[in-house]
Amino acid sequence: MPTELTNEILSRFSPMDGMKRQNLSALAKKTSIRELERGLTLFTAGDTQKRTIFLVTGSVELRNAAGDKEIIAADDPQAKFALSGVLPRQHTATAIDDIEYISIDTDLLDVMLTWDQTGSYEVSELESDDSDDQDWMTTLLQTRAFQRIPPANIQAIFIRMQQVNFKAGDVVIKQGEEGDYFYAITGGSCSVVRETPLNKEGIRLAELRVGDTFGEEALISESKRNATVTMLTDGSLMRLGKDDFATLLNEPMLDWIDYAEAKSLVADGAKWLDVRLPSEFESFHEQDAINIPLYFIRLKLSALDSDATYIVCCDSGRRSSAGAFILNERGFNTRVLKDGLNASDLSLA
């Protein structure tokens, strides 16, 4: 059984040796000591996984592409620092004997160090009263979208979020109502249902779990809620107010471009993604554009190419910015057409 991770163990390593005790405790809750048997590979040269790895017990061999090797034991002075910490990794690490090690999400560590060094807050202030087996903070921080946001903004986002608890069957947001909050699920699960004129029972668009977010469409597009979100189980959510969402989270995640820039990117292989209604799309649209209405985006994610760049567009820019936000959260590469198609020459063609 691996050794229990304590503040004393974490503080053996750099840069955790300079962190406040409360913040070390918070970091210890979000990671653990792992084991690896003798002869097995810890990581390989060229690895780009964003993990910061420290050796706790035992010894490893580090071998570079030229075949040069170095042995590092847990009690060596250089073991204070992360193993092959530069990405892509320059070495392959092999356990010489049974080892114990710590693997910390690099983005999470960076944010916690930022919080610690600002001196304004303790990370422990961000801990939810309702402990969940899955770590919603880590889940959000691991998304590519959150990596675009300045650390100071992330600090403020988590500080300003409020925890709210719900019972199974409770309606969190209702279709047709005004938008007031952005939500992140910290415990339980929710269903997303959209009512249509032909289906009053509603079309089930998605089931959301810990780490998933919702509620951004109405806030970004300044429109009413386009779906109803209901708790499937008892659970807890963190919510962020409309103004804080706009300034801290939405704007840093969006890359706005004008029509000329969009056309240039498409010529280089990017794709138009039109999030208007089919009837609007039929009236006029960019050549070879893909049409997925905003409220169907979550349902159609699997139909999109994760390696492509999408120019998200609508008539004014409101719906397309909401669509781009959803895609960015899920790791897609997007640009948003500034002022929309109505400001381009397309509608006059």
pLDDT in tens, 260-303: 999 999 999 999 999 999 989 998 899 999 999 988 888 898 99
Residue 209's alpha-carbon distances to 37, 158, 192, 241, 243, in angstroms, are 34, 19, 11, 21, 25
Residues 6+ apart with CB under 8 A from 48: 87, 88, 89
CATH of the domain at 336: 3.40.250.10
Residues 208/326, Cβ–Cβ less than 8 Å: no
Q: What angle do CA 64, 69, 73 make, to 5 degrees?
A: 120
Do residue 147 and residue 102 come from a single domain? no
DSSP 8-class letter at 245: I
CATH of the domain at 54: 2.60.120.10
| Domain count for the chain | 3
Per-residue pLDDT of the chain (349 residues; tens, 9 = 90+): 778 899 999 999 999 998 888 778 878 888 899 999 999 999 999 999 989 999 999 999 999 999 999 999 999 999 999 999 888 999 999 999 999 999 998 877 877 776 666 544 444 444 444 444 346 666 676 666 676 777 677 777 877 888 899 999 999 999 999 989 999 898 899 999 998 877 777 888 889 998 888 998 888 877 889 899 999 999 999 899 999 888 888 777 788 999 999 999 999 999 999 999 998 999 889 999 999 998 888 889 899 999 999 999 998 888 898 889 889 888 899 999 998 998 665 544 4
Domain assignment present for residue 114? The answer is no
Do residue 275 and residue 339 come from a single domain? yes
C-beta atoms surrounding 211 within 10 Å: 19
CA–CA distance, 231 with 300 (Å, rounded to integer): 22
Residue keyed to tokens 């010894």: 59
CA–CA distance, 119 with 72 (Å, rounded to integer): 34
Domain assignment present for residue 44? The answer is yes
Closest Cα partner for 187 from 139, 131, 228?
131
Do residue 344 and residue 310 come from a single domain? yes
Q: pTM of this prediction?
A: 0.59
CA–CA distance, 319 with 249 (Å, rounded to integer): 17
Domain end call among 250, 269, 295: 250
- Domain carrying residue 238: 128-250
CA–CA distance, 99 with 157 (Å, rounded to integer): 38
Domain end call among 250, 279, 300: 250
C-beta atoms surrounding 224 within 10 Å: 13
Domain assignment present for residue 123? The answer is no
* Residue 177: both structure tokens together: 């109502």
Residue 164, classed as helix, strand or coil, is strand
Domain assignment present for residue 116? The answer is no
